[in-house]
Amino acid sequence: MDKWTTRKVEKLFKKRLYSNILQSEELKQLIPPAQREQRGKVSARFWTTEQLPGLGLRYGFIKAPESCQVACVYTAKGGVLKTTLAFNIARTAALNGIKTLVIGLDVQCSITDLLSKNLDQYESIEDVKSPPGLFSVVKGDYKIHEVIQVCDLPTLHYLPENPNISLLEHEFSSRDNKIDSISKLIKPLKSKYELIIFDCSPSWSVVIKNALLASNHVISPLGCDVGSYRSVSQNIQRISQFKEENDLFWDSFSVIPTLRENSKISAQIEAQYRTEYGDLCSNNSIRRTVLGQENSLKFKTVFEDAPNSSLSDNYFDLIKELWVKIEGVTNG
Ligand SMILES: Nc1ncnc2c1ncn2[C@@H]1O[C@H](COP(=O)(O)OP(=O)(O)O)[C@@H](O)[C@H]1O
Ligand SMILES: [Mg+2]
């Protein structure tokens, strides 16, 4: 069991917490009750991981929107941090007490792996089998709420991907209205969750179009490296064109520079994205560092795993910036 001491919680939410305030808020039941651990003569408070969203509601740095917001993380390029970004945004929201649902739409199942392995190790072969996902719901074998899975944070749920997500493409393509199925499927979930986030595959497909139609925020990470730069210009155009053709209204569309390095070419590529995409481009970007990969390997956000790092500062600034658009929709 992870023990979250006051010092660790302070680092997680980047907020100073005073003992007398904690004491009084605990008494008033404004925060979850801490357990105590004797350290020499002092009795130190600590909370469990499961209790963190309760602390986040009080001390966190982002607030729940008044109505459910749906965000789609999509770029037609692999390896640009779509999954890492979706995971960090979703888990950070959940840590802040925001009821969050992740829907994975990639046959690689990367975000499902990040969310499911969280619950320690598998005990038997039965546990290793893919749980039913969206395709089983579409086929009518399960109701959507029956396939939703829980995590170590009570505010974080996910609809698991499994390899048969590729069959969805065929299923949706054969329908009269090909692109509104996911929108209909998630409708009943909007009263249960405050944030729904899609992690997409890099392909341009009917499934991706469904996710874009079902969302009111689109987040497109673009790598600040030569390979990404060469491949992305048409991709943003294509998303914008799809939006126009289908008369979609998105409350926000954010292009995020990722994998920024300390090299001249990387700086030039970032500057080029800023020129090209203007207001769509976020002021904050995410640096390339092995730490990003390490956090994922531990199934944790950078705030939990490396709160003192520059990467944690990048994510803090970026998520706060995105949140102005996401929460701003409902809270003026
Ligand atoms: N800040 C970072 N810098 C470098 N690599 C990172 C960073 N964050 C995550 N990664 C790693 O980069 C790889 C690709 O990221 P991923 O989010 O899976 O991309 P995508 O979903 O766009 O294909 C993963 O192995 C991930 O762990
Ligand atoms: Mg991915």
Alpha carbon nearest to ligand 1 atom 25, residue: 293
Alpha carbon nearest to ligand 1 atom 27, residue: 293
For residue 286 and ligand 1, the question of a CB distance below 6 A is answered with yes
Give the atom of ligand 1 at the shortest distance from the alpha carbon of 110.
18
Domain locations in the chain? Answer: 4-48, 69-331
For residue 259 and ligand 1, the question of a CB distance below 6 A is answered with yes
Q: Which of 46-60, 90-104, 289-303 is predicted with the least confidence, judged by mean pLDDT? A: 289-303
Q: Which of 293, 294, 301 to mutate to test the pocket of ligand 1 (most atoms within 8 A of CB)?
A: 293
For residue 131 and ligand 1, the question of a CB distance below 6 A is answered with no
- Residue 138 CA, ligand 1 centroid: distance in Å: 30
Q: Kindly tell me if the per-residue pLDDT of 119 is higher than 60.
A: no
Residue 227, SS3 per DSSP: helix
Give the atom of ligand 1 at the shortest distance from the alpha carbon of 78.
23
Residue 128, SS3 per DSSP: helix
For residue 81 and ligand 1, the question of a CB distance below 6 A is answered with yes
With a pLDDT cut of 70, the percent of the chain lying above it is: 95
Q: Kindly tell me if the per-residue pLDDT of 331 is higher than 70.
A: no
pLDDT at 280: 94
For residue 201 and ligand 1, the question of a CB distance below 6 A is answered with no
Residue pLDDT, tens place only, 174-213: 988 889 999 999 999 999 999 999 999 999 999 999 999 9
Residue pLDDT, tens place only, 254-267: 999 999 999 999 99
List the Cα angle 151/155/158 in 5-degree steps.
Answer: 50
Residue 247 Rama label (left phi>0; alpha psi -120 to 50; beta):
left
Q: Which of 81, 85, 203 to mutate to test the pocket of ligand 1 (most atoms within 8 A of CB)?
A: 81
Residue 277 Rama label (left phi>0; alpha psi -120 to 50; beta):
alpha
Alpha-carbon gap, residue 73 to 69, rounded angstroms = 13
pLDDT at 126: 64
What average pLDDT does the segment 55-59 reach? 97
Q: Which DSSP string corresponds to 307-330?
A: TTSHHHHHHHHHHHHHHHHHHHHH
Query: Which pTM does this prediction carry?
Result: 0.95
Q: Kindly tell me if the per-residue pLDDT of 246 is higher than 60.
A: yes
Q: Domain 69-331 class?
A: alpha beta
Alpha-carbon gap, residue 97 to 58, rounded angstroms = 8
pLDDT band for 43, please (50, 70, 90 cuts): confident
pLDDT at 127: 63
For residue 293 and ligand 1, the question of a CB distance below 6 A is answered with yes
Give the number of whichever ligand sits closest to the CA of residue 310: 1
What average pLDDT does the segment 100-125 reach? 80
Strand arrangement of the beta sheet that strand 69-73 belongs to: 149-150, 156-159, 100-105, 195-200, 69-73, 217-223, 252-258
- CA atoms 57, 198, 325, 249: torsion sign: negative
Q: Kindly tell me if the per-residue pLDDT of 120 is higher than 60.
A: no
Could you count the other beta carbons within 10 Å of the beta carbon of residue 5?
Answer: 15
Alpha-carbon gap, residue 282 to 311, rounded angstroms = 16
